[in-house]
């Protein structure tokens, strides 16, 4: 049976979801021909795809990924920031990988996860059978393997490099290619293995490029542009692979990005990454599945102008492929795009959605928020309203993206009557959304200790209002912060805590610089302190050659708590916290 252009009895061999980082409308040649970038393979995909032209994600990395993975509102899963304990996806959230997995599909992720680096947040605990990732929100960030710089043979500065080290299903592996090349190679290996096993596959390919640092491959353009063009080369590799395997037309291939550009081109939109205006979150989104009736050729390619969002992906997959949700899942907030995918006879419907930029420990009402609304009359989109407010103290701005894509004309200054009607309608939408997303968000999601053989607490996830040391450069200069980690001890027993300034793979002493000599030495440190809220506080001396301060603590029962660490001077003042705490539950 063919339903409005979609083969409702067909299933694809698999789904490949490519989510690139920090690339916007101005960074793809076919969308911005004067940009000076060469993206022929992405351009070709655009020419053969169904394109959602008013598609929105979050304004930064983790909030987009949380919404995409769960089919729920921005912020709803506790992911409102990229660091400080607010990039961890709540334990009770189901992911699309969970759902594909319980329906018998093989599931794999290759690249950037950025929804937690400990138990139970890592992708191998969130439905992904194969997980090949870097740590944190980017290669070279604090939870990533020390010294990673995107390269496998030759460093960014041309010198000889040690291969980058990534994590595959919990074990360390050396990459033999530039990071983006490696993610695509491993993804294609996963697809081939799934086909050999006779299994349909969900392949999630979220690259760290073109996120900073802008370490482009050697031999091409430098910086951000070089990362974009290398991504395009890999999209060409993927296309050649799918064709060679004979599955090009039997795979649903999706290409999109996680927020607005971090580069110099906005594609005519207002704002960039982090902005609540469209340039922060309106991004390209292309779908192609020829044998399923979703474009596939230039003749079949078309645009869909209705408001769509990342949270729509999961409801769409469930609808298209008749997937069954596991028991206990939370309500989905996205909508199935099936009818939009089905054909030109789709009739737009009125719809609203909200994006904001929180980037803080606590949710703040109307913080850098935009409410969007497709107002439909007579089966046509008459207005694409954008209601913007930066905080509770500032006035509303109102734009209509139908005629004002660049959001230059604030309609609150043009027509008081019109503005009053629309502001009233969209303020009500916001209030309902706020009530939903703010419920149950007060507590920080804890890293659960005692389930894995060993856990690592990273300063990247220190909680509180203070600035968090989230990258390796901040560790090198001994940056401050709250020094506090939210934890839950899953089992009673004896726990060993190993407090370090430098990670094990770096190996330098607490008081010393790193092996490169570039890090700040901490000669004033004389002691280390570990505090577990509700249990006690312990201290030990730190010598010049000590690489770690070791504590062993008996816990009588399961416990949800907070851990505070410090390396102290002779006056018992904290110089910095332990950026790495290795925790092991000892055998009883």
Return the CATH number at 52.
Answer: 3.40.720.10
Q: Which two tokens stand for residue 413?
A: 């200054």
What local confidence, expressed as pLDDT, does residue 6 receive?
54
Q: Which of 309, 326, 345 is the last residue of a domain?
A: 345
234 shares a domain with 98: yes
Residue 402 covered by a domain: yes
Query: What average pLDDT does the structure give for the chain?
Result: 95
Residue 159 covered by a domain: no
For CA atoms 404, 407, 412, 418, the dihedral sign is: positive
The continuous run of DSSP H or E covering 158 comes out as none
403 shares a domain with 298: no
Task: Calculate ∠ Cα 282-141-55, nearest 5°.
Answer: 10
482 shares a domain with 568: yes
DSSP structure class, residue 405? T
CB neighbours (10 Å) of residue 513?
Answer: 15
Residue 332 covered by a domain: yes
390 shares a domain with 530: no
The C-alpha atoms of residue 258 and residue 260 are separated, in whole angstroms, by 7
The C-alpha atoms of residue 380 and residue 306 are separated, in whole angstroms, by 10
315 shares a domain with 368: no
> What is the arrangement of strands in the sheet containing 369-377, beginning at the earlier edge strand?
351-356, 369-377, 380-389, 397-400
Residue 581 covered by a domain: yes
566 shares a domain with 429: no
pLDDT greater than 80 at residue 197: yes
pLDDT greater than 50 at residue 499: yes
The continuous run of DSSP H or E covering 108 comes out as strand 106-111
pLDDT greater than 50 at residue 182: yes
401 shares a domain with 478: no
Residue 140 region by backbone torsions, left for phi larger than 0, else alpha for psi between -120 and 50, else beta: left
pLDDT greater than 60 at residue 96: yes
pLDDT band at 3 (very low <50, low <70, confident <90, very high): very low
pLDDT band at 344 (very low <50, low <70, confident <90, very high): low
What local confidence, expressed as pLDDT, does residue 4 receive?
41
Describe the crossing of helices 223-244 and 179-196 by its angle, rounded to 10 degrees. 20
pLDDT greater than 50 at residue 1: no
Residue 350 covered by a domain: no
The C-alpha atoms of residue 455 and residue 581 are separated, in whole angstroms, by 8
Share of the chain above pLDDT 90, in %: 90
pLDDT tens digit sequence for 215-273:
999 889 999 999 999 999 999 999 999 999 999 999 999 999 999 999 999 999 999 99
Q: Which two tokens stand for residue 410?
A: 């604030």
416 shares a domain with 315: no
Tell me how far apart the terminal alpha carbons of the chain are, to the nearest angstrom.
61
CB neighbours (10 Å) of residue 20?
Answer: 29
Q: Which residue has the higher pLDDT, 343 or 548?
A: 548
The C-alpha atoms of residue 130 and residue 26 are separated, in whole angstroms, by 33
pLDDT band at 2 (very low <50, low <70, confident <90, very high): very low
431 shares a domain with 451: no
What total of structural domains would you count in the chain?
Answer: 3
pLDDT greater than 90 at residue 441: no
169 shares a domain with 63: yes
pLDDT band at 537 (very low <50, low <70, confident <90, very high): very high
Residue 117 covered by a domain: yes
Q: Which of 312, 345, 378 is the last residue of a domain?
A: 345
Residue 75 covered by a domain: yes
Please provide residue 207's backbone torsions phi and psi, each rounded to the nearest 5 degrees. -80, 155
Residue ranges of E strands in 332-429 = 351-356, 369-377, 380-389, 397-400
> Which structural domain range is residue 312 located in?
2-154+164-345
Lowest mean pLDDT among 159-163, 514-518, 579-583: 159-163
Q: Which of 438, 469, 503 is the last residue of a domain?
A: 438
What local confidence, expressed as pLDDT, does residue 583 receive?
98
What local confidence, expressed as pLDDT, does residue 467 receive?
84
The C-alpha atoms of residue 48 and residue 288 are separated, in whole angstroms, by 7
Residue 534 covered by a domain: yes
479 shares a domain with 422: no
Write the DSSP string, 261-326: -SSS--TT-S--TT-SSGGGTB--EEEEBGGGTB--STTT-EEEEEEEEGGGHHHHHHHHHTPPPP
Which CATH number goes with the domain that contains 424?
3.30.1120
268 shares a domain with 219: yes
Which CATH number goes with the domain that contains 536?
2.60.120.260
């Amino acid at each position: 049976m063919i339903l409005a252009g979609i083969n409702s009895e067909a299933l694809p061999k698999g789904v490949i979801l490519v989510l690139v980082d920090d690339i916007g409308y101005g960074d793809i040649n076919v969308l911005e021909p004067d940009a000076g970038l060469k993206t022929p393979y992405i351009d070709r995909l655009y020419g053969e795809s169904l394109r959602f032209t008013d598609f929105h994600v979050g304004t930064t990395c983790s909030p987009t990924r949380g919404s995409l993975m769960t089919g729920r509102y921005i912020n709803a899963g506790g992911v409102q920031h990229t660091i400080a304990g607010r990039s961890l996806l709540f334990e009770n959230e189901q992911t699309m990988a969970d759902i594909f997995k319980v329906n018998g599909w093989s599931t794999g992720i290759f690249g950037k996860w950025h929804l937690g680096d400990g138990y139970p947040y890592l992708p191998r605990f969130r439905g992904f059978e194969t997980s090949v990732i870097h740590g944190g929100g980017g290669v070279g960030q604090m939870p990533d393997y020390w010294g990673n710089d995107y390269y496998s043979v030759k460093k960014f500065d041309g010198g000889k490099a040690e291969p980058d080290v990534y994590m595959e299903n919990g074990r360390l592996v050396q990459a033999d290619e530039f990071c983006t090349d490696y993610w695509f190679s491993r993804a294609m290996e996963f697809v081939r293995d799934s086909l050999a096993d006779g299994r349909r596959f969900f392949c999630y390919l979220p690259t760290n490029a073109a996120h900073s640092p802008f370490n482009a491959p050697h031999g091409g353009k430098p910086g951000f542009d070089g990362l974009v063009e290398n991504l395009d080369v890999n999209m060409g590799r993927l296309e050649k692979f799918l064709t060679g395997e004979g599955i090009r037309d039997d795979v649903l291939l999706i290409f999109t990005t996680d927020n607005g550009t971090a580069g110099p081109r906005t594609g005519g939109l207002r704002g960039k990454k982090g902005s609540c205006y469209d340039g922060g979150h309106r991004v390209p989104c292309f779908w192609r599945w020829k044998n399923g009736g979703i474009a596939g050729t230039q003749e079949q390619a078309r645009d869909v102008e209705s408001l769509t969002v990342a949270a729509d992906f999961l409801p769409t997959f469930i609808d298209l492929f008749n997937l069954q949700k596991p028991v206990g899942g939370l309500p989905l907030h996205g909508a199935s795009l099936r009818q939009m995918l089905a054909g030109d006879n789709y009739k737009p419907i009125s719809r609203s959605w909200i994006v904001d930029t929180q980037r803080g420990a606590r949710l703040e009402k109307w913080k850098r928020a935009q409410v969007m609304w497709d107002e439909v009359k007579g089966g046509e989109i008459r207005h694409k309203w954008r209601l913007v407010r930066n905080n509770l103290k500032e006035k509303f701005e109102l734009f209509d993206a139908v005629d004002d894509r660049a959001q230059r004309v604030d309609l609150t200054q043009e027509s008081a009557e019109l503005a009053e009607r629309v502001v009233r309608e969209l303020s009500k939408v916001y209030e309902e959304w706020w009530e939903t997303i703010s419920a149950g968000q007060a507590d920080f999601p804890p890293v659960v200790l005692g389930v894995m053989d060993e856990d690592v607490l990273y300063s990247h996830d220190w909680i509180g209002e203070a600035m968090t040391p989230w990258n390796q450069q901040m560790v090198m200069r001994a940056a401050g912060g709250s020094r506090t980690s939210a934890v839950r001890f899953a089992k009673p027993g004896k726990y060993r805590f190993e407090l370090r300034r430098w990670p094990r793979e770096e190996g330098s002493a607490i008081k010393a610089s790193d092996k490169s000599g570039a890090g700040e030495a901490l000669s004033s440190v004389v002691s280390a302190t570990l505090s577990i809220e509700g249990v006690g506080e312990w201290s030990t001396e730190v010598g010049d050659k000590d690489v770690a301060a070791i504590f062993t603590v008996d816990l009588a029962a399961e416990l949800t708590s907070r851990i505070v660490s410090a390396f102290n001077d002779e006056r018992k003042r904290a110089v910095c916290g332990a950026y790495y705490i290795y925790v092991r539950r000892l055998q009883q």
